[in-house]
Structure 1
């Protein structure tokens, strides 16, 4: 399967989180970003840039992407409207989450770029690899546990 075919399959999976998937595709064509409802196919955990960068030990885009990809093995978005824009870690709706970071779910919409098409507003830091493959909330919790001790050590 080509990369384009896989991205199309992932796009279809993401779009079906909306009761009207054609609307998502129309938003992607017109704006590059679609507002997709959470709570059906996936939820999102909003994590501050400061906390992600402390856990990763870097604020460099490639380093952050590599670490998040290795630790979480699932899709992560970043709000790019400011240098302090938060990260959104996509997890399963039924996944247990007891972290201090806010979990976004039902009755919330997330701006999601079309896979393979970065925008100036938001970008995949870790693109979805296959339809339905999400981050493991336990791995996110473990990664974030390192943030506070590292922040205390870094001058």
Structure 2
């Protein structure tokens, strides 16, 4: 059985996964739009909070995470339904009915880029662990 790549895993969120993969490979585009709320939701936080949270989650606990244009935000891929239930100041949530820009997981791109690329396993960020990491990161910011 062929192992699933990050590209294959991401493509499963597209309305036509095979067509999506083919277009991405054929065009060589670094960035594509994918719908949130099908395979994952997205929680986006300011980078000054997201970067330390990412460091706290490091050690095999972190699922896919993105940096946006200008490194102003860090976005974490989380299980479907998380965006609808998340309560938090300054957190942008993308769930069903929204689309996000994602870079190719196997190519370097300018602008939006993977901080933790998807590995094809389907692993996402655990919302409980992410919330704890965000609280710890926020506490660290208040120490300044």
TM-score by length of 2: 0.82
Contact kept in structure 1, 2:65 and 2:75, CA below 8 Å: yes
Contact 1:10 1:128 survives alignment (8 Å): yes
Question: 1:24/1:48 Cα in 2 relative to 1: closer, same or farther (>3 Å)?
Answer: farther
Write the mapping of 1:123-142 to structure 2, written as runs, cut at 5 A.
Answer: 123-142=113-132
Distance 1:112 1:98, change over 3 A: same
CA RMSD of aligned residues (A): 2.4
- Which shows bigger deviation, 132-141 or 10-19? 10-19
2:82 aligned with 1:69, yes or no? Answer: no
Tell me the SS of whatever aligns to 1:44. strand
From 14, 18, 36, the counterpart of 1:18 = 14
Q: Shift in Å at residue 34 of structure 1?
A: 1.1
Aligned to 1:98: 87
Gaps of 5+ in 1: 57-63
| TM-score, scaled relative to structure 1 | 0.76
Alignment partner of 2:121: what SS? coil
Gaps of 5+ in 2: none
**Equivalence for 1:32:** 30
Which of 74, 83, 87 aligns to 1:87? It is 74
Q: Distance in 1 between matches of 2:108 and 2:56?
A: 20
Count of aligned pairs? 139
